[in-house]
Amino acid sequence: MTEFGTNLVAMVTPMQPGGGLSAPGLARLVDHLLATGCDGLVVGGTTGESPTLSDAEAAGLVRDVVARAGGRARVIAGVGTYDTAASVRRAREAEAAGADALLVVCPYYSRPTQAGVIAHCVAVADATELPVMLYDVPARTGVAMTPSTLAELAGHPRIRAVKDAKGDLFEAMTVLSRTSLAYYCGIDELNLPYLACGAAGLVSVVGNVAAGRTADLIRAVRDGDLVKARAVNDDLLPLVDRLMRAGTGAANTKAALTGLGIIPHATVRLPLVEAGTPTRAIPTPW
């Protein structure tokens, strides 16, 4: 197991009807993920509905997952926001809650310059003793981390990995060849090509439902068995399509986990709505 793990899952945050957190659902989800081959649990990331979690909820989730995992998987806490001070505070709270590492997203909405991106990430990395995985997802943040930015951040002793949801394989290979950063594929549609290009592992949403199969995919690529890897990938494609390409990944995944009996409810917090909710069924205040 690396300091982040290899078969990481971007966990959903189980909730009760009404939006409160579900402790039983969280415990059952962690047990399920550990039993199916996950060795890294990403808590409070995008799929965990991080923008709607309070500071207390975010820290509590980390504490509960750490306790439930009992050292059987790395716990990576999503702490990045568009506010550097808030991100630093969440990083320190995650460290106090027992997290093994931090996930820091490129600041969103504000659209900072690359100098601002670097200053933000360094401030968060300086705030704790934990290793940091950067999260590059320009489709959500509006700003991409450039190769030169990633190369500069790679010089920080605690910035050691990238969750890449950009989808630019040539850029990923270039940064891999020029830095010591470990790459993790953060876009399930491209898990196989990223692994084939040298990614250290996956941060998968689909892994909530099929961590055993993503583990098989990683193992096949590591073994150099690309025929088997393509077969596993082909088997996963319908699930990737269903969870990731229609609606929102968090809502679709919660619906799938509820259908499998792993979590009790598919509740999400607004502005997300449960999978399959027709527009006319959404309550409005006007």
Q: Check which CATH number belongs to the domain holding 115 and give it.
A: 3.20.20.70
pLDDT of residue 286: 44
Q: How far is CA 154 from the centre of its chain?
A: 20
pLDDT of residue 276: 83
Q: Does residue 155 fall inside a structural domain?
A: yes
Q: Does residue 226 fall inside a structural domain?
A: yes
Q: Does residue 56 fall inside a structural domain?
A: yes
Task: Give 281's pLDDT tier (boundaries 50, 70, 90).
Answer: low
Mean pLDDT over 244-255 rounds to 94
Question: What span, in angstroms and rounded, lies between the C-alpha atoms of 94 and 78?
Answer: 9
pLDDT of residue 285: 46
| Catalytic site residue from 163, 166, 194, 254 | 163
Single-letter residue type at 144: A
In this model, does residue 278 exceed pLDDT 80? Answer: no
| Catalytic site residue from 82, 108, 109, 135 | 135
Q: What is the pLDDT of residues 220-229, one digit of tens each?
A: 999 999 999 9
In this model, does residue 9 exceed pLDDT 60? Answer: yes
194 classed as catalytic:
no
Task: Give 277's pLDDT tier (boundaries 50, 70, 90).
Answer: confident
**pTM given for the model:** 0.94
254 classed as catalytic:
no
Q: Does residue 33 fall inside a structural domain?
A: yes
Rg over CA atoms, the chain: 18
104, 84 Cβ separation under 8 angstroms: no
In this model, does residue 191 exceed pLDDT 70? Answer: yes
In this model, does residue 279 exceed pLDDT 90? Answer: no
Question: What span, in angstroms and rounded, lies between the C-alpha atoms of 18 and 20?
Answer: 6
Residue 158: give the domain boundaries. Answer: 7-276
pLDDT of residue 246: 86
In this model, does residue 206 exceed pLDDT 70? Answer: yes
Q: What is the pLDDT of residues 82-92, one digit of tens each?
A: 999 999 999 99
Q: What is the pLDDT of residues 88-141, one digit of tens each?
A: 999 999 999 999 999 999 999 999 999 999 999 999 999 999 999 999 999 999
Q: Does residue 285 fall inside a structural domain?
A: no
Q: What is the 3-state secondary structure (H, E, C) of the chain?
A: CCCCCCEEEECCCCECCCCCECHHHHHHHHHHHHHCCCCEEEECCCCCCHHHCCHHHHHHHHHHHHHHHCCCCEEEEECCCCCHHHHHHHHHHHHHCCCCEEEEECCCCCCCCHHHHHHHHHHHHHCCCCCEEEEECHHHHCCCCCHHHHHHHCCCCCEEEEEECCCCHHHHHHHHHHCCCEEEECCHHHHHHHHHCCCCEEEECCHHHHHHHHHHHHHHHHCCCHHHHHHHHHHHHHHHHHHHCCCCHHHHHHHHHHHCCCCCCCCCCCCCCCCCCCHHHCCCCC
Q: What is the pLDDT of residues 41-77, one digit of tens each?
A: 999 999 999 999 999 999 999 999 999 999 999 999 9
Number of domains in the chain: 1
